[in-house]
Amino acid sequence: MDTATEPETEQVVFVTEDGVPTGETGPKLASHHEHTRLHLAFSCYVLRRSDNALLITQRAGHKKVWPGVWTNSVCGHPAPGEALEDAVRRRAAYELGLPSLSGLHCVLPNYRYRTPPFQGIVENEFCPVFAAWADAEPAPNPEEVGDWRWVAWNDYTSLLNDTTANVSYWAKDQYSQLKGIEPFVGL
């Protein structure tokens, strides 16, 4: 899939509770609503190798799903037939302007979540979680990213624990599982 693919042409892959594709797909934007079907997605945490700082992003304010919230580095959906690792690289290039990630690996292969409604939208995803490193500075796509910053893991922890912060449900939910896994141990 081309890295410049517009969101309205993207498809999500519907899956079983175990993350197995059902053979059905749906348009990405139209598939997200108050009764969102379980579909395949991914989350990725990008670290800066020089100091292990984490790249966090604020979703663009005009996005349909979770606009304006702070979250991990990049999230997305694989295209039908696309390997998850390829989807992570594609979205990192498209959203973050980071075409080169090193050490990409899955740290939570069976992560699954369903959000409470947020502005009428429920996320319902089988969402393997990845970690990777980048040595370059991001050049985010303003259609996807409203703001970004590199933060120390302790600052990320503080952000997630701040009850007034506008942070994604999945970032908070993934945190408890990530803090005991490499490369997040000792950060």
Strand spans (E) along the chain: 11-15, 21-27, 39-40, 42-48, 53-59, 70-71, 74-76, 102-108, 112-114, 124-126, 129-134, 145-151
- 82 assigned ligand-binding residue: no
Pick the catalytic residue from 10, 85, 125, 144.
125
Maximum Cα–Cα distance across the chain = 43
44 tagged catalytic: no
- 77 assigned ligand-binding residue: yes
125 tagged catalytic: yes
Euclidean distance between CA atoms 49 and 133, whole angstroms: 6
- 62 assigned ligand-binding residue: no
- 32 assigned ligand-binding residue: yes
Pick the catalytic residue from 75, 85, 127, 144.
75
> What residues are designated binding site for Mn(2+)?
32, 39, 77, 123, 125
Q: List residues forming the annotated binding site.
A: 32, 39, 77, 95, 123, 125
Q: Which residues are annotated as a binding site for Mg(2+)?
A: 95
Residues classed as catalytic:
75, 125
